[in-house]
Amino acid sequence: MRHLNHWPIWRDAHLLMLEIEQAVRGFARYHPYTIGSELRATALRLCQAIHRAYSRQQSRRRLGQLISAWVDGHKMQIQWARALTESLLPHHGEIRMNHQPHFWLSRAPWWVGLALAAALPARAEVTCVNQNLAVPATTPTMDFTLHDDGTVTHTPTGLMWMRCSLGQTWTGTTCTGTGNTYTWSNALNAAQTVNASSGYAGHADWRLPNKNELASIVEERCWLPAINAAIFPGTPSDGWYWSSSPGATGGSGYAWYVDFYSGLVNILSQSNGNRVRLVRAGQQLGDLQLPPPSNVQASDGTVREKVVITWDSVSGVTSYEVWRGANSASDNAVQIAAGVTGTSYDDALAPYGKTSYYWIKACSSVGCSDFGDYDTGYNKALVPQ
């Protein structure tokens, strides 16, 4: 396609492919396979469109008109692309990769940007009360099978969910009411009560979901509430929902919940009043069972210029995290080391003359344990001789 090199738009489009490839390689987590694959396909489509226009001997003006018309049919993609552009171009139009700014995109013709937006494939659809279109959908509607009895099956896991919270009423199209709140023990009993009272939708094996199952229906694109409203209509925006998972951190009086305001997964006192959504059957998503390391010991000024922390090994772990705080509240602790493969760590940055509190987390491929017991350590400065 060297015959197209005299077209500035072709050179810009080709450079776009190279820039996107560099950017995608630096994306974190799963984004190289979601946003990254779409961006690659977008750049390719743009090049193909230019080549087709050239082969038909269309003028550049006609090409602009063609792509502009194409854009009109993709308003949602354009909105999403703008949000994505804001996240990828935080420096007033620069693309920063390997700390080198690239200004060519900001100088490209206006319809190049519109063509880029229009070429984006349709996003996996969800229905949000509030949404961030730059975030990939995590629970697209097509992943669910809706039933006429107020239940829905999540195809990837096989889990069947009640579409309404306990205390809400299914009208055939939506859920009405705000739902009841329960203490944790009452939430567990509520599932048994439903099963003992002829069940629901022809099933009598409903249960409280564990924290992993409950987190699997959090929609990361949505917020307030963080859930796909097409699947779970009427979910309160301030909805805290109990899981069946007891919390190790904080003692026996805590349990895990999911905050569907933002999708946060955390622990809370079991006496708190939260809402309940029941689940049944399917592929049970097991709870994380890794225990925190025991016998955490931190040196008390016996080693100069550092605090030495040791702990007992935990079977099945791949590494450990070390956390330090200024008091005994683990909520205020900060992570000072990760990926520690042994059972000791030297904290050379511990503040002098102050007592520090240390916690250790055990980690594997599925995540890390909760906080366990802490120990205090003291960094004694080296006294000049």
| Domains assigned to the chain | 2-118 (no CATH), 141-280 (3.10.100), 297-380 (2.60.40.10)
Distance CA 22, CA 3 (A): 26
Distance CA 251, CA 253 (A): 6
The pLDDT of residue 375 is above 80: yes
Higher pLDDT, 48 or 167: 167
pLDDT tier, 358 (very low <50, low <70, confident <90, very high otherwise)? very high
pLDDT tier, 112 (very low <50, low <70, confident <90, very high otherwise)? very low
Q: For residue 205, what pLDDT is reported?
A: 92
Arithmetic mean of pLDDT, 324-331: 87
Helices vs strands, H then E, count in the chain = 8, 20
The pLDDT of residue 131 is above 90: no
Contact 125, 142 (CB under 8 A): yes
Q: Please state which of the ranges 97-106, 217-226, 280-289, 345-354 shows the lowest mean pLDDT.
A: 97-106
Q: For residue 366, what pLDDT is reported?
A: 59
Predicted TM-score (pTM) of the model is 0.48
Nearest to 146 by CA among 156, 160, 157: 160
**High-pLDDT (> 70) share of the chain, %:** 62
All residues at 6 or more sequence positions from 110 whose CB lies less than 8 Å from its CB, including other chains: none
Distance CA 332, CA 358 (A): 11
The pLDDT of residue 94 is above 60: no
Q: Please state which of the ranges 3-7, 58-62, 218-222 shows the lowest mean pLDDT.
A: 58-62
Residue type, 184: W
